[in-house]
């Protein structure tokens, strides 16, 4: 069977090159069986334009490096198969994040700030006791925490979010999910008033205007609808309790 | 242009689990720590570990009676007696504490469910009543080569959950992380390390980092096998390569390369050992469960080296499923049921769906053994300090601390990262407390100039030489064809010849892009020679070792030879030398005498000297090869004979 000819239109800009101007560049390659964007982009770089910048690491949809806009929709490049795409494939870097070059964006800085702002760590009761048995946890609850903990911080949800695209200090879907992950964890000693401060404002869950693109595009299929419902309930219950 | 020099207390090269856990220990002791990472730390390859972390907590019924001593026995047998037994002992004693600490950091470990539970064990569905008094403790799953269920896990995303928890702690402690940065050269005076030259992967600029203690935590180097690896694209062995480039620091046991039985074919993406631990089968093209006959006792759960060899042999015998990408076998988890597969093996379910377009709860998954883990690495003493280089440490897969010997057990590497992170971190903190930063800035400036001139050299070279990617691909093909699961003199000689040729080609290779900035082609080119050197010392080490031990299997020398080869390979590449230099040291003090592993072949060549004589040589010979003094004397942590009665 004759393979398809794929037409790529890829955003190019190298901020380190004073002569570089943002533009779209065209490439053509023959499609191969089981071809992913990981394979396609490496093929383009190694045979056509070795200056092309993009990020991949695990190539198995677990490290979250390769978020990019694929025909206008955020997606992980490694997991995107060309057979599921039309002949014309347009690739842009994720919006919201600072551009490193071409398809590569600085998610690291954004997510570090998010973790700092949400204090995304266990606020433990006391120091770790190496001689003590582990604190018990119901397995159902462990699974619920794990469901939220599975976020790989690829940034696809942030890129898809109408609010995060225009309001810089909005926690974004991934940030809200992080809050929920710790709020439901009994090992975290933050009190209702702390959570109220964090969640119940425009930077938190009330900044969300409910378009839910995040829920649709999340590559890890996190239950973001449930996460926001949980946060809103938490905000209301702690708000009323405080009055 | 002036050289940028930053000075701080501790430099950790690599932001995966081992490096970050080590950084936490040093930061908690009050030191300023800088982490360099190729990617944002949470994208490090630790995140891809799936199935579990070994620690003898003994919480579920199938783990009843487990103990560090049993874990010790399994680890030493798994290593095929190549491990340093004192290090194995230190590890097993610390692992339960380190795993519980991860619960403290927030890992959502899967927990014991008291009452009736259904499991699959050796092909049978069984019901087991878990004790109510253990309800809510950390659960275990079965893994290969272990006497008990011991692997602690969070679904099939254990590495991800652990890495996020540890990185949260790094952020909480305010540790500085420089991501998209690569250590391209160590700064040292021949005997003490004073930091590294960092190359920024945003701008391509070099700078010096001067510190009192430097930690290499760059993970494995599976990418020397090209695409034939489960490893991430970033596992190019940058840390091992810069250590080798010092000319004095040896790498240990580079020929010990693990092939994981179940990588998805053809993509090479890992499917966890937990699939078999939870009761999954391996089938050949006739749907025959061949491991039952091959290993009646352990079946699919023999050690990885043994299972991978049986699989490779099965395919050699024409019983693999032929495809345009070569033969594969089948992994069958259908009988575990949709619920189990979509929860406890959820990552496996998603990988099969996304990368092979199949539902493993309903269909067979195509698998074949694929390069997975580097037992070899920067040779360090039991405190984690490199041979011949004070102030340089190595942890995790990048190191040869040597609890794995010639075959690592599944789940032991994830546990090693946090155990060594804690332990070596304490020694790192001590060094940072005790010594002053006495490095002359001129050695830092010289090192930066050298790194800059290497980059400039690549950009200046022109002509019609080969591309760096062609050389990389040829390296991968040379390694998989000649330094694979079954090895022979003929193939290894061919591999060495090809790799030597590629090293010469590397000096003629020409970049196609002169783009300013990080320049992805240049970034890779700067690593290529280091990767080729790692590949060459792996092939040469395998050629020299005329026995079979663990993952190193010589078809022409099929027996383990404890008379001649109960030792560890050390390889250095002296400055200016055209060839690496090989030496051998005793594996360490031997507490558990060499014997049969309980799986695989029982035939072997016995030691021809008494254990006492062997043990008497250890100290002097290791010191002779550059082992630095440890905080506690050699052997202080061996619990002589404590494994007795456990077998």
Whether B107 has a pLDDT exceeding 70, the answer reads yes
Interatomic CA distance for residues B27 and B7, integer angstroms: 15
Kindly state the average pLDDT of the residues B227-253: 98
In the 8-state DSSP scheme, what is residue B389? -
Angle CA B60–B63–B65, to nearest 5? 115
CB contact under 8 A, A50 and B161: no
pLDDT single digits (tens) A94-125: 999 999 999 999 999 999 999 999 999 999 98
Interatomic CA distance for residues B117 and B60, integer angstroms: 11
CB contact under 8 A, B45 and A57: yes
pLDDT single digits (tens) B157-178: 999 999 999 999 999 999 999 9
Whether B327 has a pLDDT exceeding 80, the answer reads yes
Kindly state the average pLDDT of the residues B108-125: 95
The structure tokens listed for A7 are 């037409």
Q: Pick from A79, A121, A137: which is nearest to B169 by CB?
A: A121
Kindly state the average pLDDT of the residues A60-88: 97
Average pLDDT over chain A, rounded to whole?
95
Kindly state the average pLDDT of the residues B512-519: 95
pLDDT-derived band of residue B617, with 50, 70 and 90 as boundaries? Answer: very high
* Helix residue ranges per DSSP H, B383-514: 412-434, 441-460, 468-482, 489-506
Contact present, A186 and A141 (Cβ < 8 Å): yes
A-chain residue closest to B467, CA distance:
A46
CB atoms within 10 A of CB B37: 28
Average pLDDT over chain B, rounded to whole?
97
pLDDT-derived band of residue B353, with 50, 70 and 90 as boundaries? Answer: very high
pLDDT single digits (tens) B273-295: 999 999 999 999 999 999 999 99
Contact present, A115 and B168 (Cβ < 8 Å): yes
Catalytic machinery residues of B: 260, 276
Interatomic CA distance for residues B335 and B353, integer angstroms: 18
Whether B147 has a pLDDT exceeding 60, the answer reads yes
Whether A243 has a pLDDT exceeding 80, the answer reads no
CB atoms within 10 A of CB A169: 11
CB contact under 8 A, A135 and B103: yes
A-chain residue closest to B271, CA distance:
A60
Interatomic CA distance for residues A185 and B473, integer angstroms: 47
Q: How far is CA B233 from the centre of its chain?
A: 15
Contact present, B281 and B596 (Cβ < 8 Å): no
The whole-number pLDDT of residue A3 equals 87
pLDDT single digits (tens) A183-193: 999 999 999 99
pLDDT-derived band of residue B1, with 50, 70 and 90 as boundaries? Answer: low
pLDDT single digits (tens) B180-195: 999 999 999 999 999 9
Kindly state the average pLDDT of the residues B250-268: 96
Contact present, B313 and B342 (Cβ < 8 Å): no
CA distance B101 to chain A (A): 7
CB atoms within 10 A of CB B608: 9
pLDDT single digits (tens) B81-91: 999 999 999 99
The whole-number pLDDT of residue B611 equals 97
Contact present, B583 and B545 (Cβ < 8 Å): no
Kindly state the average pLDDT of the residues B436-447: 91
The structure tokens listed for A220 are 């890890």
pLDDT single digits (tens) B467-490: 999 999 999 999 999 999 999 999
CA distance A110 to chain B (A): 10
pLDDT-derived band of residue B440, with 50, 70 and 90 as boundaries? Answer: confident
Q: Pick from A108, A124, A142: which is nearest to B104 by CB?
A: A124
Whether B511 has a pLDDT exceeding 90, the answer reads yes
CA distance B223 to chain A (A): 12
The whole-number pLDDT of residue B450 equals 97
pLDDT single digits (tens) A127-166: 999 999 999 999 999 999 999 999 999 999 999 999 999 9
Kindly state the average pLDDT of the residues B622-632: 98
Residues in chain B with CB shorter than 8 Å from the CB of A63 are 39, 42-45, 47-48, 232
Query: The tokens 């030259």 sit on which residue?
Result: B197
The whole-number pLDDT of residue A1 equals 62
The structure tokens listed for A43 are 């093929």
The whole-number pLDDT of residue B2 equals 83
Contact present, A96 and A84 (Cβ < 8 Å): no
pLDDT-derived band of residue B647, with 50, 70 and 90 as boundaries? Answer: low
The whole-number pLDDT of residue B645 equals 76
Pairing of strands B33-37, B176-179: parallel
CA distance A37 to chain B (A): 12
Whether B3 has a pLDDT exceeding 90, the answer reads no
Enter the ipTM: 0.98
pLDDT single digits (tens) B18-72: 999 999 999 999 999 999 999 999 999 999 999 899 999 999 999 999 999 999 9
| Contacting A residues, span 211-240, partner chain B, CB-CB under 8 Å | 220
């Amino acid at each position: 069977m004759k393979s398809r000819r794929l037409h790529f239109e890829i955003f190019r800009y190298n901020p380190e090159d004073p002569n570089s101007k943002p533009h779209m560049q065209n490439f053509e390659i023959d499609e191969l069986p089981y071809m992913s964007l990981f394979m396609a982009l490496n093929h383009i770089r190694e045979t056509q334009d070795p200056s092309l910048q993009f990020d991949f690491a695990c190539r198995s949809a677990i490290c979250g490096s390769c978020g990019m806009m694929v025909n206008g929709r955020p997606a992980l490049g490694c997991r995107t198969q060309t057979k599921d795409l039309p002949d014309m494939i347009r690739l842009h870097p994720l919006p919201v994040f600072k551009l490193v070059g071409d398809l590569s964006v600085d998610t690291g800085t954004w997510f570090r700030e998010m973790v700092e702002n949400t204090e995304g760590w266990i606020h433990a009761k006391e120091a770790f006791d190496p001689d003590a048995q582990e604190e018990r946890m119901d397995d159902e609850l462990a699974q619920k925490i794990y469901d939220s903990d599975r976020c790989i911080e690829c940034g696809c949800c942030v890129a898809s979010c109408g609010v995060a695209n225009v309001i810089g200090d909005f926690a974004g879907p991934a940030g809200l999910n992080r809050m929920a992950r710790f709020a439901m964890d009994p090992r975290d000693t933050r009190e209702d008033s702390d959570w109220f401060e964090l969640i119940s404002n425009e930077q938190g869950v009330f900044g969300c205007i409910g378009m839910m693109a995040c829920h649709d595009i999340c590559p890890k299929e996190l239950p973001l609808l449930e996460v926001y419902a949980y946060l809103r309930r938490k905000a209301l219950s702690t708000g009323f309790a405080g009055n | 242009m002036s050289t940028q020099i930053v000075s701080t207390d501790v430099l950790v090269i690599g932001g995966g689990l081992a490096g970050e856990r080590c950084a936490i220990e040093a930061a908690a002791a009050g030191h300023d720590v800088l982490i360099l990472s190729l990617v944002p730390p949470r994208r490090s390859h630790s995140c891809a570990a799936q199935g579990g972390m070994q620690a003898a907590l003994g919480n579920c019924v199938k783990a009843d009676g487990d103990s560090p001593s049993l874990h010790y026995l399994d680890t030493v047998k798994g290593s095929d007696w190549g491990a340093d037994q004192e290090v194995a002992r230190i590890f097993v004693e610390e692992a339960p504490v380190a795993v519980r600490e991860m619960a403290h950091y927030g890992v959502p470990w899967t927990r014991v469910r008291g009452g009736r539970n259904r499991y699959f064990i050796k092909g049978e569905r069984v019901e087991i009543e878990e004790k109510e008094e253990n309800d809510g403790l950390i659960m275990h799953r079965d893994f290969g080569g272990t006497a008990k269920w011991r692997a602690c896990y969070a679904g099939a995303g254990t590495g991800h959950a652990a890495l996020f928890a540890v990185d949260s702690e790094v952020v909480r402690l305010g540790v500085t992380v420089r991501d998209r940065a690569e250590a391209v050269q160590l700064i040292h005076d021949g005997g003490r390390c004073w930091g590294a030259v960092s190359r920024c992967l945003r701008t391509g600029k070099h700078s010096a980092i001067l510190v009192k203690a430097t930690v290499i935590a760059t993970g494995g180097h599976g990418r020397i096998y090209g695409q034939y690896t489960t490893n991430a694209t970033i596992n190019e062995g940058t840390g091992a390569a810069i250590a080798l480039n010092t000319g004095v620091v040896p790498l240990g046991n580079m020929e010990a390369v693990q092939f994981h039985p179940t990588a998805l074919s053809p993509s090479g993406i890992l499917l966890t050992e937990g699939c078999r631990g939870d009761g999954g089968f391996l089938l050949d093209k006739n749907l025959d469960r061949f491991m039952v006959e091959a290993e009646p006792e352990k079946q699919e759960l023999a050690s990885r080296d043994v299972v991978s060899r049986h699989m490779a042999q099965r395919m050699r015998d024409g019983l693999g499923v032929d495809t345009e990408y070569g033969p594969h076998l089948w992994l069958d988890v259908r009988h575990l049921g949709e619920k189990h597969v979509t929860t406890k093996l959820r990552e496996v379910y998603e990988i099969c769906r996304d990368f092979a377009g199949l539902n493993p709860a309903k269909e067979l998954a195509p698998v074949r053994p694929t390069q997975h883990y580097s037992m070899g690495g920067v040779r360090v003493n039991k405190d984690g300090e490199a041979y011949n280089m004070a102030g340089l440490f190595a942890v995790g897969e990048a190191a040869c601390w040597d609890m794995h010997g010639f075959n690592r057990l599944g789940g032991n590497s994830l546990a090693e990262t946090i155990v060594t992170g804690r332990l070596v971190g304490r020694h790192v903190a001590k060094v940072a407390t005790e010594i002053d930063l006495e490095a002359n800035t001129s050695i830092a400036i010289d090192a930066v100039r050298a790194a800059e001139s290497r980059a400039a050299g690549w950009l200046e070279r022109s002509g019609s030489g080969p591309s760096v990617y062609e050389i990389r691909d040829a390296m991968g093909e040379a390694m998989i064809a000649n330094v694979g699961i079954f090895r022979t003199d003929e193939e290894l000689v061919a591999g060495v010849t090809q790799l030597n040729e590629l090293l010469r080609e590397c000096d003629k290779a020409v970049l196609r892009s002169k783009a300013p900035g990080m320049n992805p082609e240049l970034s890779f080119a700067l690593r290529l020679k280091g990767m080729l050197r790692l590949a060459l010392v792996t092939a040469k080490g395998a050629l020299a070792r005329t026995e079979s031990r663990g993952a190193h299997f010589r078809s022409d020398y099929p027996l383990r030879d404890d008379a001649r080869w109960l030792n560890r390979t050390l390889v250095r590449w002296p400055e200016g030398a055209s060839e690496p230099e090989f030496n051998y040291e005793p594996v360490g003090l031997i507490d558990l005498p060499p014997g049969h592993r309980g799986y695989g072949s029982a035939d072997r060549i016995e030691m021809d000297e008494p254990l006492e004589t062997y043990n008497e040589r250890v100290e002097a010979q290791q010191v002779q090869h550059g082992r630095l003094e440890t905080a506690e004397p050699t052997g202080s942590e061996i619990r002589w004979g404590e494994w007795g009665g456990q077998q």
